[in-house]
Amino acid sequence: MKTMFRYNWLVREEWYRWCEEVPEEELLRIRTGGVGGILHTLFHIIDVEWSWIRSLQGKSDFQENVENYSSLEKIRKLDAEFRTEVENFVNSWDISMENRPFYDPQPDGRVDVDAWGEVMRHVIAHQIHHIGQLSVWAREIGKKPVSANVIGKGLIQPLSSEQ
Amino acid sequence: MKTMFRYNWLVREEWYRWCEEVPEEELLRIRTGGVGGILHTLFHIIDVEWSWIRSLQGKSDFQENVENYSSLEKIRKLDAEFRTEVENFVNSWDISMENRPFYDPQPDGRVDVDAWGEVMRHVIAHQIHHIGQLSVWAREIGKKPVSANVIGKGLIQPLSSEQ
């Protein structure tokens, strides 16, 4: 669990650096698929991650509008603001939380019940899915996307070897 | 670990059903980003998943060419052929395997060492990333992509509740 959050944060940081080399108009351009643009996608990833972590803790959700986050700098600042709380929650994760029920009232009156472990995996997969979309748009503007590799980042230490 | 493989297999099946409604020329069309097309992506996901699982077991890798898998039917058949072995390995997974070293010789003579747990997460993220690319291409051809939601699939049973 913690490994994949760390993976996502590393990849996100690499995308921020990638964005530094791209004209802002390309980062803001409306594109086909996903939530419709590069910075908008990064905002959406941050927003969704934080919102779910807040919801699991029974805290109020984020109501900010993407229009207020129309630069890389603002996106990074928002991410940094949210990160501490998300990181604390992720680091406090233990196996006993896996099956805790999360009650999610729906617009039609039903109440969905999701296991906390499912919600956490949803957050992880959510970023990876949207980063896949960024990788297509990167090629559309003629730039190599950030690698999505999990291996090679030193996320899990292998048992000692002669290598 | 097992949860996310099951998630990936469910999503993959949904994409096969999605493909049934799309003309084959669209499935084969070369596109920007990723490995360059819809069926090619599905082949690549299956190939990479199976190859890593084979490699961890010290078994030989798959050498087939994507050109031999140029229809949805052939892709599904390949997936079914590989699934038993992959599923057996995933179901036999236990925590003691997380840090086992996997030695991966590189073309330049170095030998990378990856923890098995890292390789497994790499395989999981690999599919999700490529499915994100499919979701953009789906919109390019005017079709709604398959949902990437982890929640709502009954993957983890929440503890009993009054709901």
Q: Residue A30 has which token pair?
A: 């409306």
Query: What Cα–Cα distance (Å) separates residue A78 from each residue in A16, A46, A82, A89?
Result: 13, 8, 6, 17
Q: Which two tokens stand for residue B30?
A: 């070369």
B158 touches chain A (CB under 8 A): yes
Q: What is the DSSP string of A91-126?
A: HT--GGGTT-EEEEE-TTS-EEEEEHHHHHHHHHHH
Mean pLDDT, all residues of chain A: 95
Residues of chain B contacting residue A117, judged by C-beta atoms under 8 Å apart? 3, 156
CA of A122 vs chain B CAs: smallest distance (Å): 5
> B138 and A111: CB-CB below 8 Å?
no
The DSSP code for A143 is -
Closest to A129 (Cβ–Cβ): which among B140, B148, B159?
A: B148
> Which chain A residues are within 8 Å of B51, Cβ to Cβ?
none
Architecture of the domain spanning A2-103+111-140 = Up-down Bundle (1.20)
pLDDT of B63 reads 77
Kind of pairing, strands B101-105 and A111-115?
unpaired
CB B123 within 8 A of CB B49: yes
pLDDT confidence of residue A163? 43
ipTM, interface predicted TM-score of the complex:
0.96
Q: Print pLDDT tens along chain B (163 aa).
A: 899 999 999 999 999 999 999 999 999 999 999 999 999 999 999 999 999 999 999 998 877 888 899 999 999 999 999 999 999 999 999 999 999 999 999 999 999 999 999 999 999 999 999 999 999 999 999 999 999 999 999 999 999 854 4
Q: Is residue B114 within a helix (H) or strand (E), and if so which, with residue range?
A: strand B111-115
Task: Sort out which chain A residues have CB atoms less than 8 A from B7's CB and list them.
Answer: 121, 125
For chain A, the structural domain boundaries read 2-103+111-140
Are residues B118 and A34, on separate chains, in Cβ contact within 8 Å?
no
For chains A and B, CB pairs below 8 A equal: 166
Measured CA to CA, the distance from residue A28 to residue A37 in angstroms comes to 6
